[in-house]
Chain A
Amino acid sequence: MATQEMTDRIIETDVLVIGGGVGGCPAACKAAEHGLEVALLEKSKIERSGQTGPGLDEIGAYPRDGATVLDLMGRFPGRSSDPNMRYRVIDNMLWALEELERLGVNMRYVDGEYGWMPWNGLHSKDVGPKVQLRVHWQNVKPEMAAAVRKRGVKVFDRTMVVDLLTHNSKVAGATAVNTRTGEFIVFKAKAVVLATGRVSRHYGPDAPPSWKYKMAYNFFAPSMAGDGHAAAYRAGAELTCMEMAGQGPFPRDAMLLQPGQFFQNDGMTGLTLNWKGEELAPHQEMTHYMESQGMLPIYFSIENLPDDFQKRVEVHIADETMIRLKLAEDRGFNPRAHRYHLSLRGVGNGNILVNENFQATLKGVFAIGDCGGAGGGGGSPTAGFLVGDTIHKYVSEAGEPVVDEGQVENQRRAALAPLAVKDVNEGIEPLEMEYTVRSMCEEYGGAIKTEGMLREGLRRLGSLKKDFMPRLMAINPHYLGRCLEARNILDMAVVHLQASLERKETRSRGWGNTFVRFDYPKEDPTYSNKRLCQRLEKGEAVIEIKEVPALKPEYAKESK
């Protein structure tokens, strides 16, 4: 069968950006400014999609005010992405700040000035230099979306990636499904930029098991299904640090409010308390508490702050996700006086393995933002601009993409299979599948892992995939999208447990980035400066422990 007959539409483009958040939008804009044809896939709608859909309150940290790039890199110890890539991101953040303003994104705080805030860092209570940028980013996404559309980028909203197309070990595009119309689309592209955010929706809701009631999510649900990770992995690209796609502390009472706001409140810090009300040193002691769960719960509080600083925290919350203030009020929770219960939730630090130029191990694939290990409100746009600015070099040498028709047919069959399941007694709802994967991950992975439980979890996930996945049922295109997510979530859950089994040690890499094996309670130097890399080879997972590249000498000697 010819490709035309297998698909509803074929789109040819130079660059295909998958994911229209604060990483994907800048990448698409910049590539389009270089005269490239750009298509942007977004499973929601770019005006309010991604982790900053409802807003963001702060960005950091910037290399200014005496803080060097190396200083700031030191603030994120042990992240296992390429340090040269991280160097480039931080080194270009001030440039990206100007670029964002040029796109029409409001970067000013009050009185038309930048809202530079001192940053006490994540590991001490000392007030540091002013390197964090306070932003009113409630409308960052509508502003970015306008810039994307103005530049003639072809935007495909409500369109979800199925899989990447490859030819001769090189990317040739991707297949996708519109989750409102069911349209199956083939994208022929010379280069693909993955910007689909993190992966942690394989972890359970911390709330009561909520399938059939409300599905509880960690962070922003659509950004956490790991669509980009899963598509890259199935296409043969390497993932790294997937054992870290685990859990970290989030204030539960504020409905996923990020604790950064307590610490980076213009140098005025809140309190971290144990259940008896005794103060803990944030981060170090907290991590310790997290590891020994008998000492939980932990609380955050801003009860110690003067009135105007408490008010500032409220504005932080409003800037990031305003609804939280409303929900808190409904529940009689006073954001100023009451203590926020911290609980463990999926945070997702695993990423697609990329080099200094954000290139994945599959040729023609670039990964940015949380997808590629340089995320956050600052890292994602910076990486996006950097890739968008240089991708024309790759595109000009890439040659015409060749679409393998057999591959398209396989992907189409796999993607649309749930629509063909008609027997309601046999068919399985995607949310039930997702809930099952998440509760298995919670039970057999969880915050503290052991070999036996990991093996049992993998066995169960394996049979879930074999016996139940083929019965996944979608009664309409909306549910087909959820089925595709469930497939990605299951694949990433397996990867996460496999990687967790392979890391035989316990390691705290700072806050929200802790890996605990009950059966290997000590840090093992074998894993120092190393990272686990995982890829699919003939359907089998291959995991290797690889050296993290050293910082290049020309970067290492910098100290402006």
Chain B
Amino acid sequence: MSTAIRIDYRRCNSCRKCYDLCPMDIFIMDEEIKMPRVAYEEECAFCGVCWMECPKRAIDIVYPPSMW
């Protein structure tokens, strides 16, 4: 299924910034892979905080049809 918030795990360095800063708290830290995961995507407010803060540019935000 299409996702709006995409994490490129090849780029992610587990700095936790997205998890720490997301105003809607949609990320969780996946303890198995030690990387963030989007757990509550339907709550995303498209504010772009994770996208602008990510030091590795590992997050992409894509316009979903239900917001169009």
Contact = CB atoms under 8 A, between A and B. Distances in A.
Chain A: interface size category: 35 or more
A322 B61 CA distance: 12
A536 interface: no
Contact of B4 (A48, A214, A217): A214
A322 B49 CA distance: 9
B9 interface: no
Given A210-B67, A214-B42, A323-B61, A222 B21 contact: no
Contact of A326 (B39, B53, B61, B67): B61
Given A215-B42, A323-B48, A323-B51, A220 B23 contact: yes
A54 B49 contact: yes
B30 interface: no
| Central interface residue in B39, B42, B45, by most chain A CB within 10 Å | B45
B52 to A, nearest CB: 5
23 contacts: A44-B25, A48-B49, A48-B53, A53-B23, A54-B48, A215-B42, A215-B45, A216-B66, A216-B67, A221-B45, A221-B47, A323-B47, A323-B52, A324-B48, A326-B48, A326-B61, A327-B61, A327-B63, A331-B63, A331-B68, A431-B42, A478-B25, A482-B43
Contacts of A47: 20-21
Given A44-B24, A222-B24, A321-B48, 18 more contacts: A45-B20, A45-B21, A47-B20, A48-B22, A211-B42, A213-B64, A213-B66, A214-B64, A217-B45, A221-B43, A323-B46, A323-B51, A324-B48, A326-B61, A331-B68, A431-B43, A478-B40, A482-B43
Nearest to A138: B52
A91 to B, nearest CB: 32
Interface string A455-473: 0000000000000000000
Contacts of A215: 42-45
A393 interface: no
Contacts of B4: 214
A49 B46 CA distance: 14
A210 B64 CA distance: 11
Interface residues of B, number: 28
A220 B45 contact: yes
A330 B62 contact: yes
Interface string A54-84: 1000000000000000000000000000000
A324 B4 CA distance: 14
Interface in B14-68: 20-25, 39-49, 51-53, 61-64, 66-68
A482 B20 CA distance: 18
Interface string A171-190: 00000000110000000000
Nearest to B47: A54
A112 interface: no
Interface of B: 4, 20-25, 39-49, 51-53, 61-64, 66-68
Decide if the interface of chain A is mainly helix, strand, loop or mixed: loop
A321 B47 contact: yes
A322 B48 contact: yes
Contacts of A211: 42
Contacts of A179: 25
B2 to A, nearest CB: 10
A213 B63 contact: no
Interface in A144-194: 158, 179-180
A320 to B, nearest CB: 10
A183 to B, nearest CB: 15
Nearest to B20: A45
Contacts of B42: 210-215, 431
A323 B54 CA distance: 13
A214 B47 contact: no
A222 B25 CA distance: 10
B44 A214 contact: yes
B67 A214 contact: yes
Nearest to B62: A330
B68 to A, nearest CB: 7
A207 interface: yes
A208 interface: yes
Closest 8 CB pairs of A and B: A323-B48, A213-B66, A221-B45, A44-B23, A48-B21, A210-B66, A214-B66, A48-B49
A207 B39 CA distance: 23
B23 A221 contact: yes
A184 B62 CA distance: 36
A49 B53 CA distance: 13
Contacts of B62: 330
B23 A49 contact: yes
Contacts of A323: 46-48, 51-52, 61
Contacts of A220: 23, 45, 47
